[in-house]
A and B are shown apart, each in its own frame.
Chain A
Amino acid sequence: MTFEKKILLEKPEEQERSSVSIMLRKVFQAIKLRYKTQFTLIMGLVVLVIILEILTKIPRLSDPFYSYKIGASYASNLPPSWDFWLGTDTGSHDIFVMILHGTRNSIYFGIGCALLSTTLAILLGVFGPFVGGKADTLSSFITNIFMVFPQLPFIFFIASLMKTRSWVTVMIIIGSFSWPWAARSIRSQVLTLRERNFIKVSKMSALGNMRIAFSEVVPNVLTYILLVFCISFGIGIITEAGISMLGLGDQGQNFITLGFVMWYHEPYNMSPHYYNIWISPGIVLVLIYLVFFVIQSSFINTFNPRTRENK
């Protein structure tokens, strides 16, 4: 009797536990089955969002120069230790905290740049060939002009002309100069797609140029457009780092980017632990680039039905 009672007592508890775990597993499997083609991409994006979320939780930007000077243990030019993971600089700032801020801001900066330049590339690369005639000539003319333009010197030129530079203006400058190669290659893909039979048939049934461009052509080059987005993102971050390193970035000192970290410590390279300051932002830059490369390589499975693995 006691034995039975025991079983009766234990059973519901066990059932509950197991049913919850089974349910969770089932939900996970259902998600995996439903989004099997997009799984890598979704996981990559989720990790990216989590990282950004954590980075945002760090105290506000204006803080690191002042509130991270921690009491008694504070000193300048400290070597890496448990208190200061990457040491401190001549101005007694915690380098690790500066890099955290720099990473987050650089990612935001890169996304802004990529959005701007991808939009421009789509506008000039897809619509030009589709509207045809003068619009095509004009769009390829503009693209060619920007293509032969010495971009980096021009960015330096504009940046040095401006009296006050906020990070938004720097972003706009970089974003509006990093699209021509993308527009050219999108245009070439669109030119081949334009001659395919299914586009001809949709032209024959009198769909508008814009509608063909959006509903027939863009889905075909979507993989490439997202690749362009990722590459522009990388270009944005690196160019900004270069500009900031030369001291032509945001002047407010409220917007620390990875390039800013490198630039800020350039006058103080007397520090014996100087390698911490320039190697660590570099490593972070490479890591960001790698993460976006992984995300980008999963696009091909997600958006191109022909290369999807169907298992």
Chain B
Amino acid sequence: MAELVLKVEDIKGYYKGSFGTVHAVDGVTFDIYKGDILAIAGESGCGKSSLAELLTGSPMPMLHYESGQVTVNEIPIYIPKPEDKSKLGKWRKEQEKLSNQTRKDVLCKIIGYVPQSSQDSLNPVKKIRKFILDVMKQRVGTKPKKQIKRSKEDIKYDTLDGQKVRINFKEEVLTRVREHLEKLGLSGDVLGRYPHELSGGMKQRIVIGISTLWNPLILIADEPTSALDVTTQKILIETFMHLREMGIVETIVYISHDIPTLAQICNKCIVMYAGKLVEFNSMDNIIHSPLHPYSQGLIHSIASFNPDGSAETDLNSIPGRPPNLRDPPEGCRFYDRCNQRMDICKEEYPPFFSPNGNDSSRVACWLYKK
């Protein structure tokens, strides 16, 4: 059995604001083993990106951790929320402390995170070099003043790209960064450029390069190919495979709504619907014999072509709309759109069933109740 690197237990994260409470991620459980390339598929707004943010331990503003636990390499990154409301303030402080610790110890070093639309994640008035040094300061915890001083007592060592580097020395760090970016097929002089001087694919690769600087165990890529053309997509996918071949990252979580892309690189797949996990299966099974009615609908709505140019199957989209996550229904969330619905579906949310008998494929649907 491969080594368990990421364990997600019933994680819940809600968006809270003037618009009400949106149950974006509502109880998701899965495990990732070393060497997996896990796909997270689903419609827009089903909670894929929110799940990814929760996995990093520091969700963006508005998204709040609710309950559950994420264990990264045996390090828990959340403190369970207390039942007692009077203890909430103390809990918030502790969680804040833990999140800061997580950012230092876990982010970049164990988990690499490529944010959604990462092309816009670079500040337009900063050179790439400056951005990387900022990330360095943040992750290593060296205060900028000390870095400028470079006093002899303060020399700090860190492992960058698998090699020991004196983190206080700017030149040494930048050489290592340049080598790392060259591995991803970028020339070294990108460091001195501004983001607007680079193409979309290059920016994307730079962000991937920055998030893999410390050779993380897991790389979470949130729709890295969504805004790119097919050729650039191919280059990026090759980049991911290349990263894996060189042993920079072994485990990848790849989030996309684009199932053909996922099918090319992933070996396991999670299908999410309305904040819930509906199916966990191997990628081949998802493509060829999907279990959940929603996965079936998703696969049938892919436009595919035969080599002669004729359409392979008739396009079937799923009728209806996903439920309003501000007030999610009691029973199965796919009930309204399901073509095989039963009475029990409306009353109770289905637990996970394993129709194949082993744990590698799980589906949350009453159809598979024995």
Contacts and interface: CB of A to CB of B under 8 A. Distances in A.
A311 to B, nearest CB: 14
Contact of A204 (B60, B100, B120, B122): B60
A198 B194 CA distance: 14
Contacts of B118: 197
Interface string B103-118: 1000100000001111
Interface residues of A, number: 19
A207 B59 CA distance: 14
A203 interface: yes
Nearest to A207: B138
A57 interface: no
Given A200-B60, A203-B61, A204-B58, A220 B123 contact: yes
Given A197-B120, A207-B138, A305 B196 contact: yes
Interface string A193-233: 00011101101111100000001100110100000000000
Interface string B203-228: 00000000000000000000000000
B99 interface: yes
B301 interface: no
B194 A305 contact: yes
Contacts of B196: 305-306
Interface in B132-177: 134-135, 138
Contacts of A205: 58, 103, 107, 135, 138
Contact of A206 (B99, B135, B194): B99
A304 interface: yes
Contacts of B61: 200, 203-204
B121 A306 contact: no
Majority secondary structure, A binding face: helix
Contacts of B126: 219
Interface in B84-116: 99-100, 103, 107, 115-116
Contacts of A222: 125
Contacts of A215: 134
B124 interface: yes
B115 A201 contact: yes
Nearest to A222: B125
Most chain A C-beta atoms within 10 Å of own C-beta, residue among B56, B125, B138: B125
Contact of B121 (A201, A219, A303): A201
A106 B117 CA distance: 50
Contact of B125 (A201, A203, A219): A219
A222 B134 CA distance: 20
A197 B121 contact: yes
Nearest to A221: B125
A9 B87 CA distance: 95
Contacts of A197: 115-118, 120-121
Contacts of B134: 215
B103 A206 contact: yes
A196 B121 CA distance: 8
A203 B99 CA distance: 13
Contacts of B135: 205
Contacts of B124: 198, 220, 305-306
A305 B125 contact: yes
5 contacts: A200-B60, A206-B100, A219-B123, A220-B125, A305-B125
Given A196-B120, A197-B117, 11 more contacts: A197-B118, A197-B120, A197-B121, A198-B123, A203-B61, A204-B61, A204-B115, A205-B58, A205-B135, A205-B138, A306-B194
Interface of B: 53, 56, 58-61, 99-100, 103, 107, 115-118, 120-126, 134-135, 138, 194, 196
Interface of A: 196-198, 200-201, 203-207, 215-216, 219-220, 222, 303-306
